[in-house]
A and B are shown apart, each in its own frame.
Chain A
Amino acid sequence: MPDARPLVPRHRLSTRLWHWLNALTVIIMVMSGLMIFNAHPRLYWGKAGANSDPAWLEIGSTGNRGLVRIGSVEIPTTGVLGLWRDANGVERRRAFPHWATIPSGYSLSSARLWHLFFAWVLIVPGIAYLLWSVINRHLRRDLLPSRAELRPSAIWHDVRQHARLRFPKGQAALRYNILQKLAYCAVLLLILPLLVLTGLAMSPAMDAGWPWLLDLFGGRQSARSLHFIAMASLVGFILVHLIMVVLAGPWNEIRSMITGRFRLPPEEEDQATHPEGEVRREHLP
């Protein structure tokens, strides 16, 4: 039986193209980056740092235990981080396991080859998408939060709605809610630029050409730590993003990001009796 609910335009072509290209690129960047990390699984703050210097994060093993140490806190991670078995059952003492890295077997040079090629695939289309989003007003109209949306009461309202797994229906589902806007803006305007700039700050040639990179991040090893933290934040975003897609109706959401067309969830019939129904309207057009 055909669905009577209307199929409406949701995502423009530039957003859909960049979304999928970037999804692939980010996964490759994370996985090849984890292999690069495996070559020296310690993070420092400051200008320099090597094995005899104190590391704030370290992934390693002692005896038959794998562990992650953050500051003075040790977290046992045997089997996953620091000490694990590869696809052939051979015990390996590397930070990130074979299923999380590109390539799966230890190779710093191959990982660098992947990472430093896909860095261009991240940066060039990323800048093009950002510029295009300014020109076509996607950024201003759809992504940047309005003053009204940033009111604590409005944000708190959306947090409660999300916690109850109550997502926007009807026309409201055609716009990003404030939590989506904050998340997407954080990724587009904060985390991805931070990843690119901290990546450049690790380049000895760029440090000579653009020494302000070192001042901005407090030294090369600080930049390396921030690069890792930004990567972890991005992975956190991706996990939440995927969970939300599943909760909001995966087929409709995925279709809208492929074909651009979205099946509008109907307005709740008892909306008038919902006290929040009115509050929600207040900060929607």
Chain B
Amino acid sequence: MTIGRRPLLAGLAALPLTACDRLDGSPAFRSLLRTGERLTHDTQRLLVDRSALAREFGAGDLSTVFRANGNVTAAGPAYAAHVASGFRDWRVRIDGLVTRPLSVSLDEMRRLPRRTQITRHDCVEGWSAIGQWTGVPLRILLDMVGVQSAARYIVFHCADRFGATPYYESVDMIDARHPQTILAYALNGAALPVANGAPLRVRIERQLGYKSAKYIERIEAVADLGQIGRGKGGYWEDVADYAWYAGI
């Protein structure tokens, strides 16, 4: 049997590509690639001081349109009712490995110490937008509920859904207690718009946008991420194999 020259050449040219796709589909190769994530995480934690602040910008740097991505609303009649009432009855539950579980209303949030920051939001896709956020530093709430020493991660449970699955994300205690990590209820001086996660989203300023969960209704302190979703710590991590550590 002879193979024509052109199909042969085309086949040879396609060989490395096919090989890459096969490697891409191999669980063993993917776990090798994932060592890069671990290495990046450890190196960045070593190089970047745990309290180093993300750059804050001036009012002149604000993006004219702050692009909303992912879910731009939370589904269901309950959320629609909250929108209609201006989120008067929205409460955030803080529980898990804490000494004094708490349920906080938006009004109570607004009476707590606040932080306003103009920061850059970096989407994993590659675009960036600069916005001004106002909210409660998460560490103030964590101190109020008394996080137990066994807790290593903070999980955000959200009201928006992909199909039937509510969004969720998690960070370690370094980012949870970072001074710029706030539960934001305002964007650019106005109440947080629905598209950007009303009434409350978290800002994780030293990681990519998908860590900054929107429509937050529950915050949980956990010892490990194995029991959350499918075990990788976040919605995109679980369904599409995105990195849990999104500092790069």
Contact = CB atoms under 8 A, between A and B. Distances in A.
Interface stretch (A56-64, A151-159, A198-206, A246-254): A198-206
B79 interface: no
B32 interface: yes
B208 interface: yes
A202 B33 CA distance: 20
A103 interface: yes
Contact of A208 (B14, B124, B206, B242): B206
Contacts of A120: 36, 39-40
B128 A49 contact: yes
A109 interface: yes
A48 B122 CA distance: 9
Given A51-B67, A205-B48, A206-B48, A109 B34 contact: no
Contacts of B30: 113
A206 B207 CA distance: 10
Interface in A198-218: 200, 202-211, 214
A240 interface: no
Given A49-B127, A103-B24, A204-B247, A113 B40 contact: no
Contact of A103 (B20, B52, B122): B20
B63 to A, nearest CB: 6
A206 B24 contact: no
Interface in A123-175: none
Given A120-B39, A206-B248, A208-B55, A48 B128 contact: yes
Contact of B125 (A48, A108, A204, A220): A108
A52 B67 contact: yes
A204 B35 contact: no
How many of chain B's residues touch chain A, expressed as a range? 35 or more
Contact of B128 (A31, A47, A206): A47
Interface stretch (A36-44, A73-81, A262-270, A277-285): A36-44
**Residue of B120, B123, B205, B243 with highest tally of chain A CB at under 10 A:** B120
A156 to B, nearest CB: 39
B227 interface: no
Contacts of B39: 120
A53 B36 contact: no
Contact of A112 (B53, B54, B124, B130): B124
B44 A209 contact: yes
B240 interface: yes
Contacts of A207: 54-55, 206
A208 B53 contact: yes
B126 interface: yes
Nearest to A211: B55
A47 B121 CA distance: 11
Interface in B37-78: 37, 39-40, 44, 47-49, 52-55, 57, 61, 63-65, 67
Contact of A117 (B35, B47, B241): B35
B21 interface: yes
B143 to A, nearest CB: 23
B53 to A, nearest CB: 6
B129 interface: yes
Contacts of A188: none
